[in-house]
Structure 1
C-alpha cells in the first residue's frame, strides 16, 4: 500500500483546525487504497492550536505533528514538513479550508497516472479583494517575464509532490526560501488541476501586506538576477541623458544662446541621479544580505517537539 503524507503548516488557526480535520478525514475515507499521515506543522502559534492537534493525535494514529521552536514563516514550516514526511508522496494544504480537501482525490488520481507534481490552480478566489487579486496577477506576470523557468500564476503551495520531488526540494537549504519558484526550477512531470478557493471559515489571514511584500521581494531576488541588470540599465540611461544635457549646456555657454544658470535644473539632476544611485544600492544590498545569510550556514529551523505514534522525542 502506498502512503501519502499530508503536510499542514499552521499558525494561530485554533478556531478552524477541528473543522479542517473533520473535512480532511472525511475525504480520506473515500481513498481506502492508500495509507495516510496527517503531519501538522505548528509554526510558533501563540494560541491553543497545538493542544488541539495533540488531542487529535491521541485519537487518530494518522495524526503527527512538528512543533517548531518559534515562528519561522510558512516557507520554512513547509520545508520542515518535507524533511519529516514519510509518505511516497506529499500533499501540502493550508488549514484554513480555503483549499478544499476534496481536491486531494483528483491529485492522487493523476499521481497514479505518472505525474510527479500535481498542482492546483485557483480559477476563482472567493472572498478576496479584487485589488489583492490584481496585484497577485501583476506580480506573477512580472516574475514570469524575468525568469527563464516557467512561473505558474494562481498556483500556490496546494499540490501533490512525488517522493523524488520532495527529496529534491529538501536538498536545497537556502535561507531566503521561495518555494513557488523552486517547484518550477526542479522540474519533473507536472499536471495542473483547478479548484475554487473558498472564503475562510474562521479566523483572519496571517498574510499582512508587509509579509506579502517580503515574500514578493524574496521571489524577485532569490529566483532571478534581473533586478541587478535593471539597475545597471537605469545607470546607463541616466548617464546617457546626463551626457546629452551636458552637451546642451556647453553649447549654450559657448554660443551665448541661452542662460545656463538654473538652481531648479541643477537640483532636478542631482535628485534624479541620487535616486537612481540609491535604488541601485538598495538592489545590490538585497543580494548582498542574502549572500551574507547563506554564508552563516545556519539550520533553517529548530524543533521543540516532534511526535508520531512510533516515535516521540525532544530536540
Structure 2
C-alpha cells in the first residue's frame, strides 16, 4: 500500500480545517492509499491549533514557536513527512484534493515529480494574475533553473525528491526555486483553480513584491551583472558628453553653466548609485543571514509523532 503524506502549512485558518479534511477524505475514499496529513501551525493567532488537533487520528501537528512564514512552514512539513509520496497542499481548497488520484497515477507511471498547473486563474484578482505572469517572465529570463509558470506549491513528490530537498542547507528558502533546482523526472497535470473556501489571502501587494525579490536574488546574480552594464553605459555617456564640452569650448568659448542641469545630473547619478548600493545590500544581507546559520524554524511541540498515533 502506498503511504502518502500531505504537507499543509496553516496560519489563522480555523474556519477551513474541517472542510478541508472532509474534502480530502471524500477524494480518497476507496483508494489504496494510506494517507496522513502533516499540519504545520505557523504561529496562528486564532484557534487553528485546536481545530487541527481534533484530527490527530489522521494527522500529525507541527506547532511552530512563532510565525516563520510559509516557506519555513513548508520546510518543517517536508522535514517531518515520511510517506512514499509527499503532497504540499493549501488548506483553502483552491487546489482540489480530487486531483490526487490522477497525480498518483502519473507517479506510478514513472514520474518522480507531478506538477499541478493552473490553466484557469479567473478566481484570482487582476493584479495577482498579471503580477504573477510578470514575475515568471522576469525570473525565467534571468535565473536558472526556470520555474514552470502557473505552478504553485501543490505537487506530488517521490520520497527521493523529498530527501534531496532536505539536503539543501540554505536558511532563506524560496521553495518554488528549490523544487525546480532539484529536477527529477517531471509530469504536469492541468486543473482549474477554485475560489477560496473561506478567509482571504495572507499575501498583500507588498509581501508579493518582497517574495518576487526573494525569488530572483535566490537563484540569479543577474541584478549585479546588469548594474555593471548600467555603470558602463553611464560612464560612456559621461565621457562622450565631456568630449562634446571640450570641443564646443574650443570652438565657441565657455558658457555660463546652468544650475538646473547640474542639479539634475547630480541627482540622477546619486539615484543610480543608491539603487546599485541597494542591490549590493540585498545580496550582502542574504550572505549575512546565511552565515549566522540559524535554523529555518523552531518547533514548540509535535502532536502525534508516528503514523499510528491517535
CA distance in 1, matches of 2:44, 2:146: 34
Q: Does 1:129 align with 2:128?
A: no
Contact 1:5–1:85 under 8 Å retained in 2: yes
Consecutive unaligned residues in structure 2, runs of 5 or more: none
Query: What does 1:28-47 correspond to in 2, within 5 Å?
Result: 28-31=28-31, 33-47=32-46
What's 1:26 paired with?
Answer: 26
Question: Normalising to structure 2: TM-score of the pair?
Answer: 0.96
Once the two structures are superposed, the pairs formed by residues 1-315 of structure 1 within 5 Å of their partners are 1-31=1-31, 33-57=32-56, 61-256=57-252, 259=255, 261-308=257-304, 310=306
Alignment partners' CA distance in 1, 2:118 and 2:302: 32
- What CA distance in whole angstroms lies between the structure 2 residues aligned with 1:234 and 1:128? 36
In structure 1, runs of 5+ residues without a counterpart are none
Is contact 1:306–1:312 with CA below 8 Å preserved after alignment?
no
Tell which deviates more after alignment, 257-266 or 36-45: 257-266
CA offsets per residue over residues 177-224 of structure 1, 9 Å max, x none?
Answer: 111111111110011111111111211111112221111111011111
User: Structure 1 residue 312: deviation in Å?
Assistant: 11
Counterpart CA distance in 2 for 1:209 and 1:298 is 28
Output the CA distance in 1 between the equivalents of 2:222 and 2:119: 29
Task: State whether residues 144 and 219 of structure 2, in contact with CA within 8 Å, keep that contact through their aligned partners in structure 1.
Answer: no
Structural RMSD (CA): 1.6
- What SS does the corresponding residue of 2:4 show, helix, strand or coil? strand
**In 1: Cα distance, 2:124 partner to 2:263 partner:** 44
Shift of 1:141: 0.5
Q: Is the 8 A contact 1:147 1:224 kept in 2?
A: yes
Shift of the 310–220 alpha-carbon distance from structure 1 to 2, 3 Å rule, reads closer
Q: Secondary structure at the match of 2:76?
A: helix
CA offsets 1:228-278 (integer angstroms, 9 cap, x no match): 001111111111111111111122222226736111221222112111111
Contact 1:65/1:307, CA 8 A, preserved across alignment: yes
Q: How much does 1:310 deviate?
A: 3.7
Deviation at 1:311, TM superposition (A): 8.2
Change (3 A) 1:248 1:196: same
Greater Cα offset, 249-258 or 263-272: 249-258
Q: Contact between 1:7 and 1:40, CA under 8 Å: does it hold in 2? A: yes
Instruction: Give TM-score scaled by structure 1 length.
Output: 0.94
Compare relative contact order (CA 8 Å, sep 6+) and give the higher one, 1 or 2. 2
Deviation at 1:136, TM superposition (A): 0.7
Shift of the 312–267 alpha-carbon distance from structure 1 to 2, 3 Å rule, reads: farther
Distance in 1 between residues matched to 2:15 and 2:122, nearest whole Å:
20
Within 2, Cα distance between the matches of 1:103 and 1:311? 23
Runs of 4+ aligned residues of structure 1 deviating over 2 Å after TM superposition are 257-260, 309-313
In 2, the alpha carbon distance for the partners of 1:312 and 1:104 equals: 22
Q: Deviations over 1:46-99 (max 9, x none)?
A: 010110111121xxx221110011101110101001100010110000001111
Contact 2:7–2:81 (Cα < 8 Å) also in 1:
yes
Distance 1:311 1:160, change over 3 A: closer
